[in-house]
Structure formats: structure tokens, C-alpha cells
Amino acid sequence: RKVDIMVVMGLVDTVERRFWARETSTDWWDHIVLQVWDESQWLRNFRMRKGTFLELCELLSPALKRQDTRMRAALTIQKRVAIALWKLATPDSYRSVANQFGVGKSTVGVAVMQVARAIVDLLLHKVVTLGDVQAIIDGFAAMGFPNCGGAIDGTHIPILGPEHQGGQYINRKGYFSMVLQALVDHKGRFTNINVGWPGKVHDARVFKNSGLFRRLQQGVYFPDHKITVGDVEMPTVILGDPAYPLMPWLMKPYTGALDTEKELFNYRLSKCRMVVECAFGRLKARWRSLLTRSDLSPKNIPIVIAACCVLHNLCEIKGETFMQGW
């Protein structure tokens, strides 16, 4: 009987090991995704076409190169970037992504942070940048607002409540979050971001403590590009909602009783300011991990959010198709 039991246990163990090996097989990535998937499958699962993905891997390679050891071969750059993009683009668990790519659960977490840090270190200041100011001004002018250099707003990224000072992260809607402040151009690309403030902090306070505010206040953010409206000299301005302070270089809607001229002003301002809300919508729709409560440490969450902003701009610049209901 002991022999029979040992045989049965051995068979069960063999079946379990075979199942595990099949579940974590690397064949799917090596032979299906890289060799068989068409552009629509790449776009649906990685939010970018294969060509853009390979360009991204090349850009990140200086920070992601790893040496093989005698114990094991290092994961390729392409596979680590793919793991990170998959995790950022879906609400899938670490275990699910690990099974998908044939790696350990902890490897997924390591890959996400390695890739996010590489994106921030190598690409943030190259991709999230002001760019051609005149093109931005012309773009907003075509939408109805003169001499406008961007639209600003804040959005809340849900997180798990931190162990210490958790109350500081509860926002006005009652959940734990971290604030992402962003300035966007007329095409909905991020030109400046500030991330890391607790959700309880008001948008105006985040703004007044940002480097963007200081540079705008000093008059050094935009090149000197003033126009004359009537008999008033108008600097390049940004547009905000009523939560922001009215400044010579920041326009916000009129409130209270409005005449026809003020209603028209508000309409044009609102039409142009919508680009920042649309940008946040596209950011979170592409990188859906931003919609679920992140279990990363408060130190790592801003890095991942910033990396997603860079990836958003790359996708927009490359003209990657945006699909509703991903």
C-alpha cells in the first residue's frame, strides 16, 4: 500500500510540475507574440505597434542592459519592457502577468520598476517638454483662445492607503489617491507634469508649490510673446478651471452673473481647456493600471505615473490608434 501511495503521489507531483511548466512557458512570448501577432494585436495589448515598441526598447537599452550569470540568462530588454507595458496597460494581477510571460511573480514587479525608472531617467525631459511654443499658440488660437500656451488641471490616481499619514491621501471624493498635475498642449500632449502630492491637497496648493508656477511667475517659462488685445498687452497664458488662482498669465472662467461677452469668453476657455481632461481620459484608458489602487510604495508610485505620462506622449507623437473600450 505504501508503494501504491508513493506511486500515486509521484504521478500527482509529475502532473503538477507539467501543468506549472506549461503555464509559465516562454514559448508564447518568443514564438507567438514576437513572430505571429499582427499590428492590431500589438496595439490592443501593448498600446503601440511593434515598430514603436522596438524603438522604445532601443531608447531604454542603456539603462536596461543586464549581464548573464552562471546561474541563469538575463531576461531580454524586449521581454522586460513587454512585461512592464502589459502590467501598466491592464488591471491584471502580478501572478496573471507572470503566468502569461513564463516568469516568476516577483520578476514582474522588478521589471515594472526597472522599466519605469529607465523611462523617467532617459525620456521624461526629452518627451514631456514644451516643444514648439508657436505651434501650440496657433493650435489654441484656431480653437478660439489667443496667445494660449497650454491648459492645466489635476487628476487623482487611486492608491492603497499608506500605513503612516494615510489621512493625508484621502481626497474630497473619499478615497486614497495621489495627485497628478499636468499642463498639456493643443493636441493633448503633456508638456509639464508634477506628481506625488497626497490626494487631500487642493489643486491650487499643488500648483503654487510647483516649479511650473515659479517659472511662470518669473516670466521665464514661455519665450517673450506678448500680443495687444484692445489697449491691453497680453502675455502668453495658460488656462485653468475655477480652482486655480487668477493671474496675469493664468486665465480661468468668470463666475456669477454673466453677460454675453463673459459667456463667450467662458465658452472659448472651456473649449480649449477640455484638451487636458481628454488627455487624462486617454492616459488612464491606455494605461489602465492607473484606474486601480496601486499597491506600490508612495516612493515608487510617482515614478510609475510619470512613466505612463511619457508613454502617453510617445503614443500620441507616433500616432498610435486610440481604441475606446480597450
For residues 308 and 165, the model is more confident at 308
Q: For residue 23, with 0-12 CB atoms within 10 Å meaning exposed, 13-18 middle and 19 or more buried, which class applies?
A: exposed
Identify the pLDDT of residue 21. 38
| pLDDT of 285 over the 90 cut | yes
Identify the pLDDT of residue 6. 46
| pLDDT of 164 over the 50 cut | yes
| pLDDT of 50 over the 50 cut | yes
Identify the pLDDT of residue 101. 94
For residues 12 and 122, the model is more confident at 122
Q: What is the DSSP string of 86-142?
A: HHHHS---HHHHHHHHTS-HHHHHHHHHHHHHHHHHHHHHHHSS---HHHHHHHHHH
- For 179-222, how does the pLDDT look when each residue is reduced to its tens digit (9 = 90+)? 999 999 999 999 999 999 999 999 999 999 999 999 999 999 99
Identify the pLDDT of residue 181. 98
- For 266-276, how does the pLDDT look when each residue is reduced to its tens digit (9 = 90+)? 999 999 999 99
Confidence band, pLDDT 50/70/90 cuts, at residue 231: confident
| pLDDT of 143 over the 90 cut | yes
Identify the pLDDT of residue 166. 80
What CA dihedral angle connects 206, 207, 208 and 211, to 10 degrees?
100
Q: What is the pTM of this model?
A: 0.89
Distance CA 301, CA 178 (A): 8
**What is the rounded average pLDDT of the residues 51-55?**
98
Grid cell for residue 13: 507531483
Identify the pLDDT of residue 66. 76
* 80 closest CA partner among 52, 45, 115, 32: 115
Identify the pLDDT of residue 27. 82
* 295 closest CA partner among 163, 150, 154, 140: 163
Identify the pLDDT of residue 58. 97
φ, ψ of residue 202 to 5 degrees: the values are: -70, 150
Identify the pLDDT of residue 7. 44
Q: Are 263 and 257 in contact (CB under 8 A)?
A: no
Identify the pLDDT of residue 226. 83
- For 56-93, how does the pLDDT look when each residue is reduced to its tens digit (9 = 90+)? 999 999 999 875 555 556 789 999 999 999 999 998 99
